[in-house]
Amino acid sequence: MPRPYPAVPIPSPEGGVIPPVLPVLPGLRGLLPRGGLVRGSVVAVAEFGLLCLALMAAASADGAWCGIAGIPEAGVLAAAGLGLDAERTLLVPAPGPAWPQVVASLLDGCELVLLRPPGRAPVQVRQRLEATLRRGRGVLLVAGDWPGAPVRLRVVTQRWTGLGDGHGRLRASCAEVAADGRGEAAMARTCWLWLPAEDGGVALAGPRDFPDGLPFGIPAGDQPGTLGAVPALQAAGG
């Protein structure tokens, strides 16, 4: 079983303490109130897509064990290019009715767990999992709704490059990502990201980075290269 990070605060140079955070890719830091994923907290993303996997990539590359539960179509082909370590990622594609217990077990051994609940999680379930988070100092990344999540992110719109006059192939996506939440994250933040860039990575972008006339409205979950089975991933319990 992977060993969680120590559940102690990190001393700051000023003599105080700051809650430990898991790192994220540089392009995502501006969306998060402390420039990373605060341990013991929940981060909710409106729907599953490359943004979820990108949020996991830097922590995984830094050696964190990660879990993915309730997302049978999830793969890490695109995120592997960002640094996500397939050999340190546990998959539970279909946890079934016992998903709260499965997620709690993952949180006991993983620093970062991505979950898509089968529906709106009952209050008691949310409270139990949040208590597990606080004890283990992990981070729960939820693809979907999680009332009271300190940080919420969503892809507002996307522009894809690569299509010509009825031909070509989608190569890269420039996405407007918005973040808000409670407490430190109460101030809304928005940025444009290449999600993904042509090299499969994630980087800051701006409207002037792409030409006019690109197609809008492709759902975030339909990003090419973000889904698919990856045999190298370890199936939990298998």
- Residue-wise pLDDT for 52-96, tens only, equals 999 999 999 999 999 999 998 876 565 566 677 888 999 899 999
Q: Is 175 helix (H, G, I), strand (E, B) or coil?
A: strand
Which of 181, 140, 182 is closest to 52 using CA atoms?
A: 140
Long-range contacts of 29-34, Cβ-Cβ distance < 8 Å, separation of 24 or more: 30/189, 30/191, 30/204, 31/153, 31/177, 31/179, 31/189, 31/191, 32/151, 32/179, 32/185, 33/151, 33/181, 33/183, 33/184, 33/185, 34/184
What's the number of CA atoms in the CB half-sphere (13 Å) around residue 119? 4
Place of tokens 């890269």: 172
Cβ atoms of residues 41 and 174 within 8 Å:
no
Q: Where are the domains of the chain?
A: 17-150, 152-208
The residues, any chain, with a CB within 8 Å of residue 69's CB and separated by 6 or more, are 91, 92, 95, 99, 102, 103, 106, 113, 114, 115, 116
Tokens representing 143? 């693809």
Tens of pLDDT, residue by residue over 104-135, are 999 999 999 999 999 989 999 999 999 999 88
Can you tell me the mean pLDDT for 135-148? 94
Distance CA 68, CA 112 (A): 9
Tens of pLDDT, residue by residue over 145-199, are 999 999 999 999 888 876 554 545 567 888 899 999 999 899 999 999 998 888 8
Helix axis angle, 99-109 relative to 123-136, nearest 10°?
10
Q: Is the pLDDT of residue 2 over 50?
A: no
pLDDT given for residue 16 in this prediction: 47
> From the CA atom positions of the chain, what is the Rg in Å?
18
- Tell me which DSSP letter residue 74 carries: B
Distance CA 37, CA 56 (A): 9
What's the number of CA atoms in the CB half-sphere (13 Å) around residue 230? 23
pLDDT given for residue 137 in this prediction: 86
Distance CA 208, CA 227 (A): 29
Cβ atoms of residues 25 and 54 within 8 Å:
yes
Q: Is 121 helix (H, G, I), strand (E, B) or coil?
A: coil
**CATH classification of 17-150 is 3.40.190.10, yes or no?**
no
φ, ψ (nearest 5 deg) of residue 190: -140, 140
